[in-house]
Amino acid sequence: MRKIGFIGLGIMGKPMSKNLLEAGHQVVVYDLEAAPVLELAAAGAGTASSPKEVAERSDVIITMVPNSPHVKAAVLGPGGVIEGAAPGALVIDMSSIDPIVAREVGAALAKRSIRFLDAPVSGGEPKAIEGTLSIMVGGAEGDFEEALPVLKSMGASVVRCGDVGAGNVTKLANQIIVAVNIAALGEALVLATKCGVDPRQVFQAIRGGLAGSAVMEAKAPMALARNIKPGFRINLHIKDLNNALAAGHEVGAPLPLTAQLMEMMQALKVDGLGEADHGAVIRYHEKLAAVEVKEKSS
C-alpha cells in the first residue's frame, strides 16, 4: 500500500483516484473545485489545500490536469508539488501534454532529486471508471517498475515507451489515429445514409472485417443513436492535436491528416460543439452532405 497524492479530479481523475482507493492505497486529493474533493473524501480519501500539501503527505504524487500550463503550475508553480515533495519522491503526470514540457518538468524535478514519469492515458471516461485504461509511460526503467503496481490499479495495459517524454509522444500518436478513425467512420456512415442504405446494417456488416476497430465499436452506436454526450470532448482532442502539430513542427514531421482533422474540429467548435464527444465529428460530414445519420425505423 502506497501513500498516493492525486491532483486533478476531473472527468478522468475522479474515477482514477477512486480506483486507487479501491485497490487499498492511502490517497490524499486536491482539486480547484470543491465538489469532487468532497466526493472523494466521502469515499475515504484525505484532502489537501494545495499541491504542495499533497506532496508533503505522499511518496507518489499523480497529476491529471488539462494541459501543459496546468501541469507546470501544479508541479513547478507557487505552492506546487516541487515545494512539498521530499527527495526521492516519485511524481507521475498522467495528463496529455506537450512532450517538450514533460521533459522540462522532469528536468526541474531532477534538480531536487525528485523522480518523474510522464504517463498519459487512453480509453476515456468509461475505461477510467472500469480501471482498464491504456497507460503509456516515459521515464527511467527503475521508476517505471516501482510505479507499475500503482498504475495497474487504474489501467489494463501499462507500457514503458522510453525515457521521459516518450509517454506523451505515444499518446499523441494514439490521438492522431483515433481522430482519423472517427472522421473516416463518420464519412462512411454519411455516405451509406445518403445512398439510402441503413447505416446500422453497414456497421454490422463491416465491424468484423479489416475496417473493424475499437473506435468503430465505441463510436458507431453513439452516432446511430445521435448521442454526443462526452466521454472525451472535442475541445480536449483539439488540445491534443495542437500538441501533436507542435511536436511535428519541432522535429520536422509533417502531419497533413492531423492538420485537416484539427480544422474539422475547429469548425465544430465554432458550431458550438466543443464540449461534445469527439465522435460528434460525424456532424461535420452531415453538414456537408445535408443529411442526418440514424438507423432506419423498422
Task: Note the pLDDT of residue 139.
Answer: 98
Residue 226: closest CA among 282, 171, 173: 282
CA 155, CA 191: separation in Å to the nearest integer?
A: 36
pTM of the model: 0.90
Per-residue pLDDT, 275: 96
The pLDDT assigned to 167 comes to 98
pLDDT computed for residue 297 by the predictor: 65
- The whole-number pLDDT of residue 298 equals 52
What is the residue whose three cell numbers read 465554432?
Answer: 270
User: What is the dotted CATH code of the domain comprising 3-163?
Assistant: 3.40.50.720
The rounded distance, in Å, linking the Cα atoms of 268 and 159 is 33
Longest pairwise C-alpha distance within the chain: 66
- For residue 175, which of 234, 263, 224 has the smallest C-alpha distance? 234
For the chain, the residue count is 298
From residue 72, how far is each of 64, 75, 95, 98 by CA, in Å? 12, 5, 11, 11
The SS3 assignment for 210 reads coil
Q: What pLDDT, on the 0 to 100 scale, is given for residue 124?
A: 85
**At what angle are helices 166-194 and 199-206 packed, to 10 degrees?**
130
Q: What is the pLDDT along the chain (298 residues), one digit of tens a residue?
A: 789 999 999 999 999 999 999 999 999 999 999 999 999 999 999 999 999 999 999 999 999 999 999 999 999 999 999 999 999 999 999 999 999 999 999 999 999 999 999 999 998 888 999 999 999 999 999 999 999 999 999 999 999 999 999 999 999 999 999 999 999 999 999 999 999 999 999 999 999 999 999 999 999 999 999 999 988 899 999 999 999 999 999 999 999 999 999 999 999 999 999 999 999 999 999 999 999 998 776 5
Q: Nearest CA to 154 among 11, 9, 10, 15?
A: 15
pLDDT tens per residue across span 151-194: 999 999 999 999 999 999 999 999 999 999 999 999 999 999 99
The cell for 281 is: 465529428
Q: Which of 211, 82, 107 is nearest to 163 (CA)?
A: 107
Report domain extents, the chain: 3-163, 169-289
Give the pairing of strands 60-63 and 3-7.
parallel
Told to judge if 171 belongs to the known catalytic residues of this protein, a careful annotator would answer yes
**pLDDT the model gives residue 2:** 87
Query: Of these residues, 18, 52, 171, 239, which one is catalytic?
Result: 171
Q: What would the CATH number be for the domain defined by 169-289?
A: 1.10.1040.10
Query: Residue 265 corresponds to which cell in the numbers above?
Result: 474540429
